[in-house]
Structure 1
Amino acid sequence: MQGLFWLDDEAWAVIEPLLPKNQPGARRVDDRRVISGILHVLRSGCRWRDCPQAYGPYTTVYNRFNRWSRRRIWRRLLEALAEAGALGGSVAIDSTYVRAHRSAGGGKGGPKSRRSASRGAAGPRKSTSPPSLGRPLALILTPGNTADIRMAGELLAAAGPARRIIADRGYDADHLRREIVERDSEPVIPDRRNRKRPVSHDPPACRERWRVEAAINRLKDFRRIATRYDKLAANFQSAVALAAVAAFWL
Structure 2
Amino acid sequence: MGRGDLTDAEWDRLESFLPSGGARGGRWSDHRRVINGVLYRVRTGIQWRDLPERFGPWETVYKRHRRWSADGTWQMLLSRVQAAEDAAGAIDWDVSVDSTAVRAHQHAAGARRSAPAAVPQKGAGRGTNQVDPAAETGRPPGGGGQIGECLGRSRGGFTTKIHLVAEGRCRPLAFVLTPGHYGDGPQLERVLKQVSVPRAGVGRPRTRPDQVLADKAYTSRANRRYLRRRGIQHIIPERLDQEKHRKNRGSRGGRPTGFDSERYKKRNTVERAINRLKGFRAVATRYEKRAYIYLGTVTLAALAIWLRT
TM-score of the pair, normalised by structure 2: 0.76
Deviation, 1:154, is 1.3
> Contact 2:20 / 2:28 at 8 angstroms: preserved in 1?
no
Q: Aligned partners of 1:155 and 1:234: how far apart in 2? A: 16
Deviation, 1:199, is 2.2
Aligned ranges for residues 1-250 of structure 1 at < 5 Å? 4-23=3-22, 24-86=24-86, 87=91, 89-109=93-113, 111-118=146-153, 120=155, 122=157, 123-159=159-195, 160-195=207-242, 196=244, 197=246, 198-250=256-308
AA aligned opposite 1:28: W
Q: Aligned partners of 2:66 and 2:307: how far apart in 1? A: 22
Q: Aligned partners of 1:88 and 1:246: how far apart in 2? A: 18
> Bigger CA drift: 39-48 or 190-199?
190-199
Deviation, 1:119, is 5.1
For residues 54-79 of structure 1, what are the alpha-carbon distances to aligned partners after superposition, in whole Å with 9 as ceiling and x for unaligned? 11111111111111112121122223
> Contact 1:95 / 1:126 at 8 angstroms: preserved in 2?
yes
Flag the 1:207–1:11 CA change in 2: closer, same or farther, 3 A.
same
SS of 1:38's partner is helix
For residues 64-111 of structure 1, what are the alpha-carbon distances to aligned partners after superposition, in whole Å with 9 as ceiling and x for unaligned? 111111212112222333344344621111000000000000112263
For residues 12-42 of structure 1, what are the alpha-carbon distances to aligned partners after superposition, in whole Å with 9 as ceiling and x for unaligned? 1122222223455222110001000000000
Q: Aligned partners of 1:89 and 1:228: how far apart in 2? A: 30
> Contact 2:21 / 2:28 at 8 angstroms: preserved in 1?
no
Flag the 1:5–1:142 CA change in 2: closer, same or farther, 3 A.
same
Q: Aligned partners of 1:88 and 1:183: how far apart in 2? A: 19
AA aligned opposite 2:109: G
How many residues are matched?
A: 249
SS of 1:18's partner is coil
TM-score of the pair, normalised by structure 1: 0.93
> Contact 1:113 / 1:234 at 8 angstroms: preserved in 2?
no
> Bigger CA drift: 114-123 or 36-45?
114-123
Q: Aligned partners of 2:100 and 2:49: how far apart in 1? A: 29
Q: Aligned partners of 1:206 and 1:138: how far apart in 2? A: 20
AA aligned opposite 2:170: G
AA aligned opposite 1:64: R
Q: State, as a whole percentage, how many aligned pairs show the same letter.
A: 36
Q: Which runs of 5+ in 2 are unaligned?
A: 115-145, 196-206, 247-255
Runs of 4+ with >6 A deviation: none
AA aligned opposite 1:216: I
Q: Which runs of 5+ in 1 are unaligned?
A: none
Deviation, 1:134, is 1.8
